[in-house]
Structures are given as C-alpha cells and as structure tokens.
Structure 1
Amino acid sequence: MTTKKTSANELNGIGRDVGRLVTMMTVAAWVFLGAGLILSMLNLHHFSDKNPSLMVGIGCMVGSVFIYVIRTAIHLVHSRAEAVTE
C-alpha cells in the first residue's frame, strides 16, 4: 500500500517553474566572470592588494562561481522534486 503526497501547489494547479531563474542565474554568472576577467586583465600591471579594480575583478570571478553553484543546486533540487512527484 502506498500513499500519494500532494502539495499545495499541485492542488492549486500552480507549479514552480524555475527554468527562467536557472537561465537568469547562468547569464549572471557568465556576465560576472567576463567582467571579472576584464577588470583583472586591464589592471594586472600593478599586482597588489592595494589595486581596487584588480580586487573587484577577482571578487567578481569568485562570485560567479558561487552564483553558478547555487544555480546548479536549485536546478538539481527542482529536477529531483519533479522526478519524485511523477
């Protein structure tokens, strides 16, 4: 004997569509990576922690990785939730 679980979203007919969020986060990650690379390459001549644009560029590159990891986690959780409900 199995029991069927339903959520409030399924009862209302409103599902969560995270496709746009995943796409937006992918674009944001690539934009931040590109901006970080440009900022870092333009100011590489003064390689020091006192160079603010170099530090911002490195921060953008690191931030883009975090954005992409969060995007991947959201996508995996959503696809897993869809697989369980089917």
Structure 2
Amino acid sequence: MTTKQLTLKQQPAKGGNPLASFMTIAAWVSLAIGLVTCLFEVSDFSDRNLGLMIGVGFLVGSVQIYMIGAAIRLFHHNKTAKNE
C-alpha cells in the first residue's frame, strides 16, 4: 500500500490583498467607535436614544465589514492557489 505525499507552500498570513487589509482595519476602527459611542450613551437604555442606536449600528457594521474582508482574503487566496 502506497501513500501520496503532498507538499504545500506556506504563505505568510499577512500577504495578499491590500483591500482585505483595509477592510480589517476599517472593521476595528468601527468597532472602537461603536464601543465608545455605546459607553457614552448607555445611561438612557431605550430605542429612542439615537446615540446608543448609532453605537449598536457601528458594532453590527464592524462585524459585517470584517466578514466581507475575510471573504475577500479567502477568494484572493483561492484565486492565487489555482493559478500556481
């Protein structure tokens, strides 16, 4: 019985698409803005508190931005893997 050995080239985790890196940075910035806004506006915890709702929007948006950036990075990685 024989086995096939497959050698994989290891690529640095940071290399890749600059757009994906920008999206990651934008996600962290929006997360920080959301946290700060929520902490300042948490005294009146209701849906009529516009500042708190904006902070929650930034928190939710940061997750979405991060997921889009991760998807761009994965698609870019798959594209380069198929070309090699």
Higher RCO (CA-CA < 8 Å; seq separation 6+): 2
4+ residue segments displaced more than 6 Å:
none
- Where structure 1 has 5 or more consecutive residues not aligned to the other structure, the ranges are 1-17
1:23-42 alignment runs, 5 A limit: 23-42=21-40
- Where structure 2 has 5 or more consecutive residues not aligned to the other structure, the ranges are 1-15
Give, in whole Å, the separation in 2 of the partners of 1:36 and 1:55: 9
Q: Which structure carries more helix by proportion?
A: 1
Residues matched between the structures, number = 69
Q: TM-score normalised to the size of structure 2?
A: 0.79
Amino-acid identity (%)? 45
Q: RMSD across aligned C-alpha pairs, in angstroms? A: 0.9
1:1-86 alignment runs, 5 A limit: 19-86=17-84
The 3-state SS of whatever aligns with 1:45 is: coil
Amino acid at match of 1:49: D
Q: TM-score normalised to the size of structure 1?
A: 0.77
